[in-house]
Structure 1
């Protein structure tokens, strides 16, 4: 059981690292801004008070360590998605990882961003309140596909 757990955690961490590297590539070569995890940290902080949805997370009371909390939350969610993949695909997937289950989990998890995090931050359902929601949606789908490649690739590395 411990073997399954540590591999699931490692898969989530590896996938999150690849997703972060993808963000750096987009920044360096295409001028896309880097993710700012401080608002996400503020959002996580306010969950303890039962506040899930904000009109504008920037107007919510700040938290001194929100950037650190945002980064931690980002990796914890990645780990949870790695565990979710192993639950959905089954532990035998760890011995013979295939891309499709990882990709399905990767794409399905976009829903958490579109229907929980983004409205929670005040940017609307599926980024509907942003200047270019379709661009954000496309980038979300690509980033989660990269995340799925990371899930699969990490599983291949540690099998």
Structure 2
């Protein structure tokens, strides 16, 4: 296997792992503080409405349910995490993957919060940066912290991948 293939497979593993870390964080918040996470079935519903030409909803929860929306939502959630990781590894080069550092991963994780703020939340009917939610600042802070945790997950998972690459290269 070439070094480039190792980096791609490593980035995929990092994306899956960082998304899992984010999900574990959200599970912790839900069980410990009763803070709910995004229902990924709603992500699936949004995506399943797109082939019919509907990209924005007044309220995604009021939109008609679609078949397989939960499956589509969870697959999309992990696919997005993998794509974010692939982009990050491309931007930082294989050097970061070989010797991960925390700060770039955290900053990148924080940067990914623009996607829910300016794409998903408005498309779900929640307004830009959750401005139409009952507690916008709380929703923004939760998104920011969750994406920071994703960045931390990128770093932790990259440590594991870099170790595996050193052992198998």
Whether 1:113 aligns to 2:116 is yes
- Higher alpha-carbon Rg: 2
Q: Using structure 1 for the length normalisation, give the TM-score.
A: 0.95
Look up the SS of the partner of 2:71 in the other structure: helix
Does residue 144 of the first structure (1) align with residue 147 of the second (2)?
Answer: yes
The corresponding residue for 1:17 is 20
> Within 5 A, what are the aligned runs for 1:51-70?
51-70=54-73
Alignment length (residue pairs)? 159
The structural deviation recorded for 1:53 is: 1.6
Among 42, 46, 52, the alignment partner of 1:43 is 46
1:72 aligns with 2:75: yes
1:60 Cα shift?
A: 2.6
**Equivalent runs, 1:118-129 vs 2, <5 Å:** 118-129=121-132
1:51/1:27 CA distance change after superposition, 3 Å: same
Deviations along 1:83-127, one digit per CA (max 9) or x if unpaired, are: 011011111111100112111211111000000000111111100
- How far does residue 9 in structure 1 lie from its aligned partner after superposition? 0.5
Structure 2 gaps of 5+ residues are 163-169
**Secondary structure, in 3 states, of the residue corresponding to 2:133?**
coil
- Superposed CA RMSD in Å reads 1.1
Per the alignment, in what secondary structure is the counterpart of residue 42 of structure 2? helix
Post-superposition, which runs of at least 4 consecutive aligned residues in structure 1 deviate over 4 A? none
SS in 1 for 2:132: coil
Give the equivalent residue in structure 1 for 2:93.
90
